Structure 1
């Protein structure tokens, strides 16, 4: 069993490693580092400054092995909200995050960091659609069914449509989780239509503009921030080839195929592939026409290649999770598919954590 002394020593070592990286990539000196470490040892624990927190959150994105969009890691906007105490204050900070990140469609990569010991956000993403079990099937997003039940146990009642936006569930300390409805005007949604196939428009599909992940923890210098929602912008296949197409999500390929008249009687017709391409075309077309930031998977792969080049120039080893970096549609058309990459975990980073319900 690890003693509290050993645990404390490891956390101080983690802080020293992080701050050593911090001075390597800034203009700070070794003397500054020694003074900072002396202060931390006297205090007995590490409490990052806002400047250190900003640096750590950005580098955590740079180290995120599953993310193909790391080229833009330096552009991350960081809100330090560790001082907030109540669920209401945290809710208003989350709404600000949504509105700031959305930016009328010109999406800004953003993270909001809350007190590491007190705050937990129960949502998978700040904005996500509900899922309901009904006789004979599911309405909405099947992946959201467990959390939708939690929200209903807390008193929420959705409209029962395929695209009901779930409320925010915020827990402070050991208090009972508090539920807050997200104002409709805070959420930008895109109605999905196709440039050629009007039948796809008649499926009445839509998706929210900004994917704000809220179930991961941010690890910086031995400190784990369990509530640190962050976002970039969507790669089109995340919506068109996964959220809409996966059989355990909205499972829309049969409907799309029928809508555009494909022969679904045999796999040899490649109807799934053709429906998948047209569904992804519709997603990209709709976001672009509405002026909402999005990237196609070919461009995203080219951006990742540029990220690789920049990291090599900075003498940093590029790491990644290959199975996540290859796009879920036509992966062999990208350079990533043909290039081995080591899935070495570096810190700072974002990590999955057990869900609180």
Structure 2
């Protein structure tokens, strides 16, 4: 099969390796594989079938070394939208993704895959809050300042609140990027309140229900899909210990500490730790009270242990990025903290790509 198709040797090798994996894990025959490779050689290119794409997207989740939630990899819903040609069509498919994945709060792991090589979604996530630089400091999410300015240059104008949902920015090839607002009825948000500290509830904090990552590419069989937004559900610490707590994000720990009347003059009071726990408790409490899917970091670690057991039973090596798998709160209370794990990158997988703006 030295002339499998007129692409580079690396792509050819990846296609063969992927189809061999597909054959082995779906109990297909050697004859099927030989016939499939002959078919590809005749076409002089590899185009995954929908069934192969579904398999590849799920395996990519299984191979995602930074993800603690891989136990559910085989439940991923895959929408094959490679036939779409226009920005309007892509926008409608993204709305379908948001609606299906949100599911009234009973969140469904979902990915939508668009045509390879020519489509980009500029957003970091399909739903993300804007960030504004003002005379009185930053309003909103500091991590979104650059994209917010891009959206404004394209004609968008937000309301200037801490929680303005950014529009979708879609680009096909070298076309000018197109801007689309997300209708409010598609965006499920959770008002953050605390079961004991009522003053925290009066901060009017909220967060969107579904983390739909849209800036990564999906690599399957040597083919790279640069627009393939995907989601699971939140682990509480992603919001409470990162989005809300990081000093370069919403930086809410001093505010929470003040509400709790903690001594912030000295680190020995552990005010940051105490405020962090209560902020994360508020996240979990609020999502659960509203019936929106979320997982705490202890349960997530237990689920990852089940994933490890399943992979070992299937005679597959468990890989992972330890620094990402340990939760940002109390990592030593989880088994992951005490267990070495090899950060070996396998394909199919999801990869970061260069920012388009």
TM exceeding 0.5: yes
**Residue 45 (structure 1) aligned with residue 45 (structure 2):** yes
Distance across 2 between alignment mates of 1:13 and 1:36: 14
Aligned to 2:145: 145
Aligned to 2:201: 201
SS at match of 2:320: coil
Aligned to 1:80: 80
Distance across 1 between alignment mates of 2:312 and 2:166: 42
Asked whether the equivalents of residues 6 and 45 of structure 2 are also in contact (C-alpha less than 8 Å), the reply is: no
Superimposed CA distance per residue, residues 161-199 of structure 1 (whole angstroms, 9 cap, x where no aligned partner): 000000000001211100000000000000000011101
CA deviation after TM superposition for structure 1 residue 137, in Å: 1.5
Report which stretch shifted further, 68-77 or 35-44.
35-44
Superimposed CA distance per residue, residues 7-62 of structure 1 (whole angstroms, 9 cap, x where no aligned partner): 53321221000000001100210100000001111111100000000000000000
SS at match of 1:28: coil
Superimposed CA distance per residue, residues 234-273 of structure 1 (whole angstroms, 9 cap, x where no aligned partner): 0000000000000000000000111121111111111110
Aligned to 2:338: 338
Distance across 1 between alignment mates of 2:226 and 2:106: 28
Superimposed CA distance per residue, residues 309-346 of structure 1 (whole angstroms, 9 cap, x where no aligned partner): 00000000000000000000000000000000000000
Asked whether the equivalents of residues 12 and 45 of structure 1 are also in contact (C-alpha less than 8 Å), the reply is: no
Aligned to 2:191: 191
Aligned to 1:229: 229
Aligned to 2:239: 239
Asked whether the equivalents of residues 199 and 260 of structure 1 are also in contact (C-alpha less than 8 Å), the reply is: no
SS at match of 1:219: strand
Distance across 1 between alignment mates of 2:336 and 2:11: 36
**Residue 353 (structure 1) aligned with residue 343 (structure 2):** no
Distance across 1 between alignment mates of 2:83 and 2:33: 25
Correspondence list, 1:139-288, <5 A: 139-288=139-288
Query: RMSD over aligned Cα, in angstroms?
Result: 0.9
Distance across 1 between alignment mates of 2:251 and 2:16: 48
Asked whether the equivalents of residues 239 and 283 of structure 2 are also in contact (C-alpha less than 8 Å), the reply is: yes
TM-score by length of 1: 0.98
Asked whether the equivalents of residues 127 and 208 of structure 2 are also in contact (C-alpha less than 8 Å), the reply is: yes
CA deviation after TM superposition for structure 1 residue 136, in Å: 3.7
Aligned to 1:19: 19
Distance across 2 between alignment mates of 1:30 and 1:174: 42
Distance across 1 between alignment mates of 2:289 and 2:184: 21
Distance across 1 between alignment mates of 2:161 and 2:136: 16
TM-score by length of 2: 0.98
* Matched length: 353
Aligned to 1:119: 119
